[in-house]
Amino acid sequence: MKLRVYNLITISVLIVLTTIYGCKKKDTTEISIQGSTTVLPIVQRVAEVYMSKNPDVSLSVSGGGSGVGITALLDGTTDIAMASRQMKDKEKATANKKGMKIKEVEIAMDGIAVIVHPSNSISEMTIDDIKSIYMEGGVSNWSKFGGEDKDIVVVSRDTASGTFEVFEKKVLGGEKVRADALLQASNVAVKNAVAGSEGAIGYMGIGYLGDEVKALLVNGVEPTEANVLSGEYPIARKLYLYIRGDASDDINAFVNFVLSEYGQRIVEEVGYIPLK
């Protein structure tokens, strides 16, 4: 009888302790982040560090392009949109129609490098040269610029990309990209396409540069952090996060971490230009 009583007491104590500690355990907060493949490396790395410091927060980060991320934010299917461009007027109009206030947060700067295969003898081009290649009916052979008699393979980002839109504005000046351009869904895809074709030309964020491709001087200026900051490099842009005006404290806490001294060090570590 005593043994049974003791067992009942033990079970009761375990139930009480389980209830107490179970109540103390905080539910995991899930935050989804989607958008620009240019901003992606920054946010992925910051998210890893943030989750290690905040184990009760789970961050899901995916690409797709600036337009995809902003659309997802407006549709309510993501919490934070990554963008390598500012919101368009039609996106702002959609937000207003839905009664949504959207907060824009600048997190870094970046340059768009124009790249060719390492074997290409061309090392410098002007904005007009690049435009003459990318526009409809444009130049199709490298010999036009003093290079080899080789067909130019034009590689571009797809139209959902903020990188595409900045390039279109700053280089093409409103002209449409030629119809035979090979459209790629990410910076990595552009780099791989150019690295795999001796006649290729492409463009991507300078944070993705590596030995696989050669970055051209544009208007005589190298695509470096210093030249982007000074304003000398002509194809540069700011990088953003977008959140709802009524975003939760957890979402705002992550955004503030990106802007913190720690977060900005990570921006620099992954090859981008910090704000401070």
pLDDT value at 243 more than 60: yes
Q: What is the DSSP string of 66-124?
A: HHHHHHHHHHTS-SEEEESSPPPHHHHHHHHHTT--EEEEEEEEEEEEEEE-TT-S--E
Residue ranges and CATH numbers for the domains of the chain are 29-109+238-269 (3.40.190.10), 110-236 (3.40.190.10)
Q: Please write the tens of the pLDDT for every residue from 189-212.
A: 999 999 999 999 999 999 899 999
pTM over 0.85: no
For the stretch 56-109, pLDDT in tens is 999 999 999 999 999 999 999 999 999 999 999 999 999 999 999 999 999 999
In this structure, are residues 218 and 235 in contact, taking their beta carbons and an 8 Å threshold?
yes
Looking at the predicted structure, is the pLDDT value of residue 24 above 50? no
Residue 14: pLDDT over 90: no
User: Going along the chain, which residue ranges are E strands?
Assistant: 29-35, 57-64, 80-83, 102-116, 124-125, 153-157, 182-184, 200-205, 214-215, 217-218, 236-244
